[in-house]
Amino acid sequence: DAKTTQPTSMDCAEGRAANLPCNHSTISGNEYVYWYRQIHSQGPQYIIHGLKNNETNEMASLIITEDRKSSTLILPHATLRDTAVYYCIVSFNKLVFGAGTILRVKS
């Protein structure tokens, strides 16, 4: 599975959009980009995934660059409850977690 690189931590003001970047320059053609988040002492929660097109659901939007070497997860209106560790994973089958990004939403 391709490796991903994410910033260690980010801060975001409540009510503003949170944009979380992820680099995956070695992604293969059949690998999807998945985003999960984990709130303390809970199992990871699925957010969104995509192959090459941008995706949007009720939680977030996923923007994937045309060359697929990077992506951005967008939480349009961050709330305090969005404070969590966000994991960007590139995979064809099993999910291998990196260190993720600690997102702190502040009031």
The pairs formed by 48-51 with CB atoms below 8 angstroms and a separation of 24 or more are: 48/73
Q: Which is nearer to another protein, 34 or 82 (CB)?
A: 34
Q: Which is nearer to another protein, 78 or 87 (CB)?
A: 87
All residues at 6 or more sequence positions from 82 whose CB lies less than 8 Å from its CB, including other chains: 12, 18, 37, 75, 103, 105
CA distance 28 to 44: 24
Minimum distance from residue 66 beta carbon to another protein (Å):
20
Q: Which is nearer to another protein, 4 or 70 (CB)?
A: 4
CA distance 105 to 16: 9
Q: Interface with another protein by CB under 8 A: which residues?
A: 32, 34, 36, 38, 41-46, 49, 51, 87, 94-100
Minimum distance from residue 16 beta carbon to another protein (Å):
27
Minimum distance from residue 1 beta carbon to another protein (Å):
10
